[in-house]
Copies of this chain bind each other. A is one copy, B any other.
Amino acid sequence: MLSVTILGNNSAVPAFNRHPTSQVVSHDGTNYLVDCGEGTQIQMIKYKIRRGKISHIFISHLHGDHYFGLVGLINTFSLLSHKQEIHVYGPEPLQQIIEMQLKVADTILSYPIFFHTLTENATLVDNERIRIKCFRTQHRIPCFGFSFEEKEGKRKLLIEQIRKLQIPISFYSSLQNGLDYITPKGKVIKNDTVTAAPGKGKRYAFCADTRYDEGLIEHIYDFDTIYHEATYLDNMQDKAYSRYHTTTKQAAALARKAMVKRLLIGHFSSKYNSLDVFQDEARQVFPNTELAIEGVTYEV
């Protein structure tokens, strides 16, 4: 199952008990951390995120509300004697910033840490279960979104048929991989008579901070769920443009053009206390919009 849990849904200045950007994408028991604003580790405790399940951290850009919590989290992992590798993906100066702070504190981490510099359209993780890629967004400083594409699962065994045909258990995993079975007497049993097609992999994208940008569509087209910022309400289009952000209706228009199934909006400006209008405005353009609420897990 692919899901995302929101830890912070606010823009730069914390307000109204909303926190800076962070979310956890979970897939098959692995937690991928996306952005890490100040206080993320405290939000993790509050919402019972298993920190030990995190080995990959993705930082979209180096505005503080997206990464000021990272150095504290890296430190805490070490104080808790974490042993597994941690991989951090972010814009280049991130490594220098973190390493300088570890150095002045005379800190030797308890685990190996690897920094990976984001480059346009790079594939960051690609294994038999998931592919994670990054893509540039239109922001004031270099900024990247991330797409998570679950791989198709294995074929499903039709266990009654299989037993009837007395196919040995040792061949089950070959069946899941699509192979035909040949009986001891040489008869070919076609794979699709004893297995069913796997479910289609789910796809999620985190679109980071950005102006309205139809260039993003190719990276998120037909996705199951996308998270797109909606810093401002519709009447603030000019401010959104000048600050490299997006309004509710712009985010919704992009979701519609990209033919995604669901839109989550977040990164709300601290000037707004109530969020109801954000939802109302976006739904006028794209009905399947939801507010990204802190502590809530959305199944993709």
Contact = CB atoms under 8 A, between A and B. Distances in A.
B68 A106 contact: no
A86 interface: no
Interface in A1-60: 12-15, 19, 38-39, 41-42, 45
Contacts of A170: none
A76 B11 CA distance: 11
Given A41-B38, A80-B13, A100-B97, A105 B63 contact: yes
Nearest to A102: B64
A105 B141 contact: yes
A101 B106 contact: no
A96 B106 contact: no
A104 B100 CA distance: 14
A286 B37 CA distance: 41
Contacts of A42: 14, 19, 38-39
Contacts of A79: 12-13
Which one of A13, A97, A104 has the highest number of Cβ atoms from chain B below 10 Å of its Cβ? A104
A93 interface: yes
Chain copies in the assembled complex: 2
Interface residues of A, number: 33
Nearest to A103: B93
A72 to B, nearest CB: 4
Contact of A100 (B76, B100, B105): B100
Across the A-B interface, give the 8 residue pairs with the lowest CB-CB distance, nearest first.
Answer: A38-B72, A62-B104, A93-B104, A39-B39, A68-B72, A64-B75, A13-B79, A63-B105
Given A64-B105, A91-B104, 20 more contacts: A13-B79, A13-B80, A38-B41, A38-B69, A39-B39, A39-B42, A62-B101, A62-B105, A63-B105, A64-B71, A64-B72, A64-B75, A68-B75, A93-B100, A96-B100, A97-B97, A97-B104, A100-B100, A106-B140, A106-B141
Interface of A: 12-15, 19, 38-39, 41-42, 45, 62-65, 68-69, 71-72, 75-76, 79-80, 91, 93, 96-97, 100-101, 104-106, 140-141
